[in-house]
Structure 1
Amino acid sequence: MAQDFLPGMESSAISVLKRAVELDQSSRLQESLVCYQEGIQLLLDVLKAVKDESKKVHYREKIKGYMDRAEQIKDHMNKLKEEGKYHEQVKIADNSTGFSYESLFKPYIRDGLTEVWVEDPYVRHVHQLYNFLRFCEMVLKGPCKVKTIHLLTSKDEERSSQQVSALAEIRQSLQSENVCLDIQFSSTIHDREIRFNNGWIIKIGRGLDYFKKPKGRFSIGYCDYDLRECHETTVDIFHTKHTKTT
C-alpha cells in the first residue's frame, strides 16, 4: 500500500526541500530551518517505504546532507541569538502573493510560545479588525498553547463604538478558547511591532494591514490570504533573550 503513495511522498519532500534551499539562499534562516526539518521527515517516510536498496542508499545520502545543513543553520542561529545579533529582512514586493499570516509567522509560532504582543496603530476599520481576527486565528492554530494576546492600538474617534464592539466580540470569542485578549489604546502609538515571548520580534512596515483590497467578494484571494495581493512593505525579524513585556 505504501508503494502506491510513494510518488506523492517523494514529490512533497522535493517541493518542501526545494523551498528550504530557496529560503536558505535568501538568508531567511528560521523559515528555511523549518522547511528542512519538514522535508527531512518526509524523506525519512519515503526511505521507510522504498524497497530498492540502491534507492535507499541515495535517500540516506540526501537525508544526511540536508540534516548537516539544518544543523549548521541551527548552530549559526543559536550563536547569533546568544550574541543578540539575529536579524532577518523580508521584502514584500507590490502586488506579490504568498504572504499570508500563516506563511509569514508560522516559523516563529513554536518553542513554548504562550504570550503575544501586537502594537499596531491601525486596528480600527472593518478590514483591519478582520486582519487582527485572522492573526488571532493563526496564533490559535499554532502548535503552542498561547494564553494571552495583548493589543495596543489607537482609538477610532469617528467610529469608536464599531471598533470597541468588534474588539469586545473578538475578546469574548477568544475567551471561549481559553485565551485572554488584553486591549489597550494609545493616542501616541506610531511603531508597528509583534513580539512573542519565545524571543521573536517581527516589525512590519505596514503592520498587519499589508494586503490590498480584493477585486470583488467572489474573487480569488478574498478568503485565502496567500492568494491576496500585497502592498510593498518590509518585514524585519529579530530575536532577543529578553522580550519586553510591557
Structure 2
Amino acid sequence: MTQNHVSGMETSAISVLKRAVELDQSGRFQESLVCYQEGIQLLMDVLKAVKDDSKRGHYRDKIKGYMDRAEQIKAHVNQMKEDGKYHEQIRIAEDATGYSYEALFKPYISSVLTEVWVEDPYIRHIHQLYNFLRFCEMLLKASCKVKRIHLLTTQDEANSGQQGGALAELQESLSAQGVTLDVQYSSTIHDREIRFNNGWIIKIGRGLDYFKKPKGRFSVGYCDYDLRQCQETTVDIFHTKHTKTL
C-alpha cells in the first residue's frame, strides 16, 4: 500500500472522527456512535498498513481512546432507551445540505428492523410521491430486512387517480422485492411520524417533504439528495420499547 493511500485513509479517518466528536458534544449520541464506529474502522485500516512501531503505538492509543468513548456512549444510549427517556433533536437549517434520507435515517436502522410505519398527510403530489419512493428505496438498500411498510396519508381530492396509480405501481414494484406496502387514507391525519419496529420514532416537522425544489433539472442536487438544499425543519427522535402500530 502506498504512502499516499495511507495518508488518504488517515485524512478520511480524521474527518469522520472530527464529525463524531462534534455530534457527541452536541448530544446527538446515536449519530455520533455511527461516526465513531466508521472512524475507528478507518484508523484500524491505517494501523494495519503502518510499519513504524512508534506510529503504530500512536494509532493504537488513538483507537483505544475512541473505542472507550464509543462504549460509554453506547452504554448511555442503552440506559436512556431502557428508562424510556431517549430524545434527540436535529435542527435542519434553511438551505442546509447533507440531509438525504440515507444520512438522516442511517443511525436508527439496524439488522432487526423488519416493519415501518409512515404517517404523513402529504404523500399526494408528484414530488411527494417521489419522496416516498426514495424513502422506500433507501430502506431496500439499508442494512435491514424490511418486509412490510405501512403508509397512512390523505387522499388527493383533486388528482386521486395520479396518487392511487403511483402508489399501486409502487406496491407492485415493492412486492417483487419481497416487501408488502399497505396504504390507508385518513381525512383527519395531521401529525407526521415514522416508526421503526426496532423502537425508534422519528418525527420530522415537514414530514418527508423537507427538500427545496431544485433550480432546474440539470442543477446539482436534482438527483443526489445529499446535495439538495433543505427547508428549515426540526427532527425529533425518540425510542420506545413498545412500538405501537398506527
TM-score normalised over the length of structure 2: 0.98
Tell me which amino acid in the other structure corresponds to 1:31: E
Q: Per the alignment, in what secondary structure is the counterpart of residue 79 of structure 1?
A: helix
The residue aligned with 1:222 is 222
The residue aligned with 2:88 is 88
Runs of 4+ more than 4 Å apart: none
Tell me which amino acid in the other structure corresponds to 2:20: A
Deviation string 1:158-177 (CA, Å, 9 cap, x unpaired) is: 10000000001111111111
Tell me which amino acid in the other structure corresponds to 2:34: V
Cα distance, 1:5 vs structure 2: 2.1
Q: Per the alignment, in what secondary structure is the counterpart of residue 194 of structure 2?
A: strand
Greater shift in the superposed pair: 119-128 or 170-179: 170-179
The residue aligned with 2:131 is 131
For 2:24 and 2:42, the matched residues in 1 are separated by 18
The residue aligned with 2:172 is 172
Q: Measured at CA, do residues 126 and 78 of structure 1 come closer, stay the same or move farther in structure 2, by a change above 3 Å?
A: same
Cα distance, 1:142 vs structure 2: 0.5
Cα distance, 1:47 vs structure 2: 0.7
For 2:3 and 2:94, the matched residues in 1 are separated by 43
Q: Per the alignment, in what secondary structure is the counterpart of residue 38 of structure 1?
A: helix
Return 5+ residue gaps in structure 2 as ranges: none
The residue aligned with 1:35 is 35
Q: Per the alignment, in what secondary structure is the counterpart of residue 234 of structure 1?
A: strand
Cα distance, 1:2 vs structure 2: 5.8
For 2:229 and 2:129, the matched residues in 1 are separated by 18
Cα distance, 1:9 vs structure 2: 1.3
Q: Per the alignment, in what secondary structure is the counterpart of residue 183 of structure 1?
A: strand
Tell me which amino acid in the other structure corresponds to 1:173: S
The residue aligned with 1:108 is 108
Q: Measured at CA, do residues 41 and 218 of structure 1 come closer, stay the same or move farther in structure 2, by a change above 3 Å?
A: same
The residue aligned with 1:196 is 196
- Contact 2:212 2:230 survives alignment (8 Å): yes
* Aligned positions of 1:4-23 closer than 5 A: 5-23=5-23
For 2:176 and 2:20, the matched residues in 1 are separated by 37
For 2:230 and 2:51, the matched residues in 1 are separated by 46
Deviation string 1:81-131 (CA, Å, 9 cap, x unpaired) is: 010000000011111111111110011111410000000000000000000
The residue aligned with 1:161 is 161
For 1:37 and 1:2, the matched residues in 2 are separated by 24
Q: Per the alignment, in what secondary structure is the counterpart of residue 51 of structure 1?
A: coil
Cα distance, 1:26 vs structure 2: 1.4
Cα distance, 1:42 vs structure 2: 1.0
- Contact 1:192 1:207 survives alignment (8 Å): yes
Q: Per the alignment, in what secondary structure is the counterpart of residue 194 of structure 1?
A: strand
Q: Does residue 140 in structure 1 map to residue 155 in structure 2?
A: no
Q: Measured at CA, do residues 116 and 2 of structure 1 come closer, stay the same or move farther in structure 2, by a change above 3 Å?
A: farther
For 2:105 and 2:2, the matched residues in 1 are separated by 33
The residue aligned with 1:71 is 71
Cα distance, 1:40 vs structure 2: 0.6
For 1:218 and 1:4, the matched residues in 2 are separated by 35
For 1:49 and 1:95, the matched residues in 2 are separated by 40
Greater shift in the superposed pair: 190-199 or 1-10: 1-10
- Contact 1:3 1:49 survives alignment (8 Å): no
For 1:11 and 1:148, the matched residues in 2 are separated by 40
Deviation string 1:166-219 (CA, Å, 9 cap, x unpaired) is: 001111111111111010111110000000000000000000000111101111
The residue aligned with 1:233 is 233
Give the fraction of aligned pairs with identical amino acids, expressed as a percent.
78
- Contact 1:3 1:50 survives alignment (8 Å): no
Root mean square deviation, CA, Å: 1.0
Cα distance, 1:245 vs structure 2: 1.9
